[in-house]
Amino acid sequence: MASGELRSRRATAESARADGHALDPLIAESWARCEETVAESSHAAPVDTEPDEVRDRWEASPVKRSGVDVEGQLARAAEDGDLVAAVTDPEGRILWSAGGRQMSRIAEQVGFVPGGRWDETSAGTNALAMAIVTGQASTVFSAEHWCDAVRDWVCWSVPVHGPNGETIGVLDLSGKWHQATPIAELAVSALAQLVEAHLPDDVAAASGDELVIRLLGGAEITYGGRRLPLTPRQAELLSALAIGGPASLDELTDKVYGDRPVSRATVKSELSHLRRLLGGAIASRPYRLEVPVEVDVLELHRLLRGGDLHAAASTYAGQVLPQSDAPFAIDQRHLTDVALRSSLLESGEVADLLHYAEIHRYDEAVLERAVGLAEPTDPLHHEAVARLQLAQDG
């Protein structure tokens, strides 16, 4: 496109902006959404993700793991045209970027860097955000951008779709408005198609992944149906996050390590390993899980609160992490045992009392309650009497 045509296109966009409307209906809709959430005068997108989290998320990204040389191809395109290139996660967080010398400096000033958030609510109308919202290739030119910081930019973004049609990332090339060329859009579109054709085999399953944490009787943690190979300390960190919710690094360290000496670097390294195992689904500031989670301990307490004592007793497969000395595990072990035991002594059935006694073999009060409840002719009565005798002899 000739420079005169670009100047005319820019003038048209600026004139429409001055009149308070956009020529493209999708841009107009985006402006309407942004008006309530982002100031036009915003000078930069927020960069609020720690470098190690960004690195882990990029290493876990299906775009990175596709085997296509995304970094090399985008970097060459950016350097040749003095553009800046980026790849985001599904939420619009930049995981990787590269560019020509001049555009890289400009991009850094506006937060167009790894860790920067370019979703619509964070950075206003831009091509990355539009690609996420629409699920289609998007171009945002000059004054079509909502925020002043990038109003002289042009951006071309294309979403990368997983096998189920969900957006798993966005590829982008951006530059100053006078660098607009259809070649850039064609380049990112072709690369996105190439990535989609070479996605790793685990991507289809990942879209419905759930983290399942079993702590009663010992740790067993699965993700997407696959058992995670975790050390005891890694299992404790993941479980503490799942049970306690978002936590700072210091809070998480206290919950798992207590007074034992441990460096912050060690804890962060363990969390980085967990993040990679979960495909990047542990966020920071504060640390938190970003996948659906099912925890048997929490389910047991939910059943108790709902009055389903039989289901709660059936869920009880043993004490919470019986070998763990992590402070959070000790607390959960005590709370769970006391809550269930008290409920059973008050209104538990014989079978449920005996189930609890299989784990707590010397709890005479529970066994005496079972003996007192069971009819003398009930086989469970004889079992309860025998177990009580063993407990008393022990």
pLDDT, one tens digit per residue, over 362-377 is 999 999 999 999 888 8
Q: Are residues 219 and 268 in the same domain?
A: yes
Provide the β-strand partners of residue 173. Answer: 85, 156
Write out pLDDT tens, residues 21-69: 787 889 999 999 998 899 999 999 999 888 989 999 999 899 999 989 9
Q: Are residues 168 and 189 in the same domain?
A: yes
Q: Are residues 56 and 147 in the same domain?
A: yes
Angstrom distance (rounded) from CA 108 to CA 12:
28
Q: Are residues 29 and 177 in the same domain?
A: yes
Residue 239: pLDDT over 70: yes
Q: Are residues 68 and 191 in the same domain?
A: yes
Q: The domain that contains 83 carries what CATH number?
A: 3.30.450.40
- Exposure of 255 in the CB half-sphere (CA atoms within 13 A): 23
Domain final position from 293, 314, 337: 293
Q: Are residues 170 and 41 in the same domain?
A: yes
Domain final position from 293, 310, 329: 293
DSSP letter at 286 equals T
Domain final position from 172, 205, 238: 205
Q: Are residues 60 and 181 in the same domain?
A: yes
Instruction: Judge whether 150 and 128 are in contact, CB under 8 Å.
Output: no
Q: Report which of 231, 233, 246 is spatially closest to residue 293, judged by C-alpha positions.
A: 246
Q: Are residues 270 and 361 in the same domain?
A: no
Q: Are residues 20 and 64 in the same domain?
A: yes
Q: Are residues 63 and 118 in the same domain?
A: yes
Burial code (b: 16+ CB inside 10 Å, e: under 16) for 28-49 equals: eebbebbeeebeeebebbebeb
Give the pLDDT score at 208: 54
Q: Which tokens is 198 given?
A: 């070479």
Q: Are residues 156 and 272 in the same domain?
A: no
Give the residue numbers spanning the domain of 379: 295-393
Give the pLDDT score at 204: 55
Write out pLDDT tens, residues 178-235: 777 778 888 999 999 999 999 987 775 444 578 999 999 999 999 988 899 899 999 9
Write out pLDDT tens, residues 130-162: 999 999 999 999 989 999 999 999 999 999 998
Q: The domain that contains 269 carries what CATH number?
A: 1.10.10.10
Q: Are residues 104 and 135 in the same domain?
A: yes
Tally of domains in the chain: 3
